[in-house]
């Protein structure tokens, strides 16, 4: 493995877990593989344009499904804690995305190595969110189903941006990427890295500086910002279902946003223009990345990704 003669232009690309489970699908492995191949086409265009991507993915539907399996098998096999389920989904989804990307690269005649790095993310063991679950995971339910789960299983349920009801779990703020130097070295040697899947495996530091797991799910967009800062990424792209961010989404007064400064985005966030559980975390992650030295954040869908890199599509937030 030869180190490239010039430093790559690194772009952290964050993909939502829902990108692999389309609306109306059951989320079978076959469906998720097919969605992976479709979603990666935009990233291939970015690679051809000379950018080195570090791919981070969410795992909301996948870890939610894993939690349901654990709950249903509680009297048959030992319980698996949430932190370990995050690691399980990080490996499984890394396999799906990695294999799909390798196959596309081979068909395109691009001999670029790809690997998945199981990534631990340090959080504060006293983070207040551990006592107040807010992170939606798993499938969407009707209000009646959500009420039944809350009553029968003690789940905390919320209505998620008009799309239905979902279970919520703790989501502490990411502070540090444990494997950052490993990821940096791989990038410097021309390897495409899939890292911090599901926001990474949450851990905290003991008094002797050793690591211990914790049961939570970290927001993948905030983790993307922290990882981007750690490896000196120039750009961050957050992929979603819509082509760009919009104010008054879902109303006749919808206003699509193109180019924004960091301060303009922060002002809109402070004014409550972005919904929690959907767009607000993405804007916070964008601000964090820019404040840490990043040049530009793109928020768009996979079809418009390359045009957004060239300032022709999507929502672009500049430092």
| The token pair that represents 97 in the structure block | 């995305």
At residue 159, the 3 state secondary structure works out as strand
253 in catalytic set: no
At residue 92, the 3 state secondary structure works out as helix
255 in catalytic set: no
17 in catalytic set: yes
What is the model's pLDDT at position 3?
Answer: 63
At residue 74, the 3 state secondary structure works out as coil
76 in catalytic set: no
Distance CA 262, CA 132 (A): 29
At residue 16, the 3 state secondary structure works out as coil
148-172 pLDDT, tens digit per residue, is: 989 988 888 998 877 789 888 889 9
**Catalytic-labelled residue, pool 16, 17, 42, 138:** 17
Lowest mean pLDDT among 83-92, 196-205, 248-257: 248-257
What is the model's pLDDT at position 4?
Answer: 57
**Catalytic-labelled residue, pool 27, 35, 59, 220:** 220
Q: For 156, which DSSP code?
A: -
Nearest alpha carbon to residue 297 among 223, 239, 250, 212: 239
282 in catalytic set: yes
Question: Which ranges of 218-304 does DSSP label H, i.e. alpha helix?
Answer: 220-231, 262-270, 280-291
pLDDT bracket for residue 18 (50, 70, 90) = confident
Q: How far is CA 251 from the centre of its chain?
A: 27
**Catalytic-labelled residue, pool 42, 64, 135, 228:** 135
**Catalytic-labelled residue, pool 16, 18, 138, 228:** 18
Domain 1-134+170-221: which topology?
Answer: Carbamate kinase (3.40.1160)
State the CATH architecture for 234-319.
3-Layer(aba) Sandwich (3.40)
Judge if 1-134+170-221 and 234-319 fold alike in CATH terms.
yes
**Catalytic-labelled residue, pool 59, 83, 282, 294:** 282
Q: Are 111 and 47 in contact (CB under 8 A)?
A: no
What is the model's pLDDT at position 139?
Answer: 76
Nearest alpha carbon to residue 301 among 248, 269, 252, 256: 256
78-131 pLDDT, tens digit per residue, is: 989 999 999 999 999 999 999 999 999 999 999 999 999 999 999 999 999 988
Q: What residue spans define the domains of the chain? A: 1-134+170-221, 234-319
pTM of the complete model: 0.89
What is the model's pLDDT at position 172?
Answer: 95
């Amino acid at each position: 493995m030869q180190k490239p003669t010039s430093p790559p232009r690194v772009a952290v690309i964050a993909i939502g877990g829902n990108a692999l489970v389309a609306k109306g699908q059951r989320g079978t492995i076959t469906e998720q593989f097919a969605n992976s191949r479709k979603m990666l086409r935009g990233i291939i265009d970015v690679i051809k344009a000379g950018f080195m991507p570090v791919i981070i993915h969410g795992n909301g539907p996948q870890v939610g499904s894993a939690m349901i399996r654990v709950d249903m098998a509680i009297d048959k096999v030992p319980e698996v804690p949430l932190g370990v389920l995050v690691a399980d989904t990080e490996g499984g989804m890394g396999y799906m995305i990695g294999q799909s990307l390798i196959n596309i690269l081979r068909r395109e005649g691009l001999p670029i190595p790809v690997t998945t790095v199981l990534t631990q993310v340090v959080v504060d063991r006293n983070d207040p969110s551990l006592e107040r679950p807010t992170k939606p995971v798993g499938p969407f339910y009707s209000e009646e189903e959500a009420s039944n789960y809350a009553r029968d299983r003690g789940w905390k349920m919320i209505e998620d941006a008009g799309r239905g009801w979902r279970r919520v779990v703790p989501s502490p703020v990411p502070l540090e990427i444990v494997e950052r130097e490993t990821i940096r070295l791989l990038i410097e040697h021309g390897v495409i890295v899939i890292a911090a899947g599901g926001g990474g495996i949450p851990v905290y530091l003991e008094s002797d500086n050793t690591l211990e797991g914790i049961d939570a799910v970290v927001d993948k967009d905030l983790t993307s910002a922290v990882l981007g800062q750690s490896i000196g990424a120039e750009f961050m792209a957050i992929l979603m279902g819509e082509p760009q961010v919009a104010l008054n989404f879902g109303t006749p007064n919808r206003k699509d946003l193109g180019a924004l400064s960091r301060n303009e985005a922060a002002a809109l966030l402070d004014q409550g223009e972005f919904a929690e559980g959907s767009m607000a975390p993405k804007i916070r992650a964008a601000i964090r990345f820019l404040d840490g030295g990043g040049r530009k954040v793109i928020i768009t869908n996979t079809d418009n990704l390359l045009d957004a890199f060239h300032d022709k599509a999507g929502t672009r937030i500049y430092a």
